[in-house]
Amino acid sequence: MLCVVFHFLPGNADFLCTNMSSSVGKWEEGRFPDGGISKECVALVQRVCPGVVETARWRPGTRGTTAIATFINDGRYCGHAAILDSCDEDGIWVYDQWNRAPIRRRNYTAGRRVPAEQCGRGSVYTVDDFYTINVGR
């Protein structure tokens, strides 16, 4: 599992990247400074994440600590929020709490998304239910 939230200077903005599900098995090509074609990892990130600059300007941002929440397909909040800590082959690790459990670090794994009618009703969420939080008007 790959889990990356990009922060770049100036402004340390998060970069939203194109949904990659339809690109599996394909290549995104970039160009090396000498004009040669690149199929490396940076080419992928620069092509699908608008605004990502050359690697010489990259700096590490805050590791993890990104606010995430569960949402249903129509974009409505679905009952749970957490702080993303990290991810590994087992899923994502977050810090969360709820009215019967204090703050703890726990793991969410892949699985079937929660149906809309079950949001916030003792649902067992999976990695696929979580998104970063954007604030609308």
Q: Residue 134: which residues within 8 A CB-CB, separation 6 or more?
A: none
Q: 21: which strand partners?
A: none
Alpha carbons 66 and 46: distance in angstroms, whole number: 21
For 96, the 3-state DSSP assignment is: strand
Q: Which of these, 107, 114, 111, 16, lies nearest to 70 by C-alpha position?
A: 114
Q: Which residues are 66's β-sheet partners?
A: 84
> Where in the sequence numbering do the catalytic residues fall?
41, 80
pLDDT per position as a tens digit, 49-94? 778 778 778 776 666 678 888 888 888 888 889 998 888 888 998 9
What global pTM score does this model have? 0.61
Of residues 136 and 72, the one with the higher pLDDT is 72
